[in-house]
Amino acid sequence: MFELLRKFFMEQFLQGFFVTSGLIIAIGAQNAFVLKQGLLKQNILSVILTCFICDIVLISLGVLGLGSLISQSPMAIVSLAFLGSTFLLFYGLKAFLSAYQGNASLALEEQENTPQRSIHAVIATLLITLLNPHVYLDTVVILGGIAGTLAFDEKLLFLGGSLLMSALWFFSLGYGARLLIPFFRRPITWRILDLVIGVIMWAIAISLIHYGITLFKTL
Backbone angles phi, psi at 115, to 5 degrees: -55, -40
Burial class, 113, CB count within 10 angstroms (exposed 0-12 / middle 13-18 / buried 19+)? middle
Give the span between the Cα atoms of 74 and 183, in whole angstroms. 44
Please give the tally of structural domains in the chain. 1
Identify the domain containing residue 63 by its residue range.
1-218
First to last CA, the chain: 52
For range 108-135, the mean pLDDT: 78
Write down the pLDDT at residue 19.
83
Residue 109 has pLDDT above 60, yes or no: no
Predicted TM-score of the model (pTM): 0.73
pLDDT digit string (tens) for 53-91? 999 999 998 888 765 555 566 777 777 778 778 878 887
What is the chain's alpha carbon radius of gyration, rounded to the nearest angstrom? 19
Write down the pLDDT at residue 110.
46
CB 87 within 8 A of CB 202: no
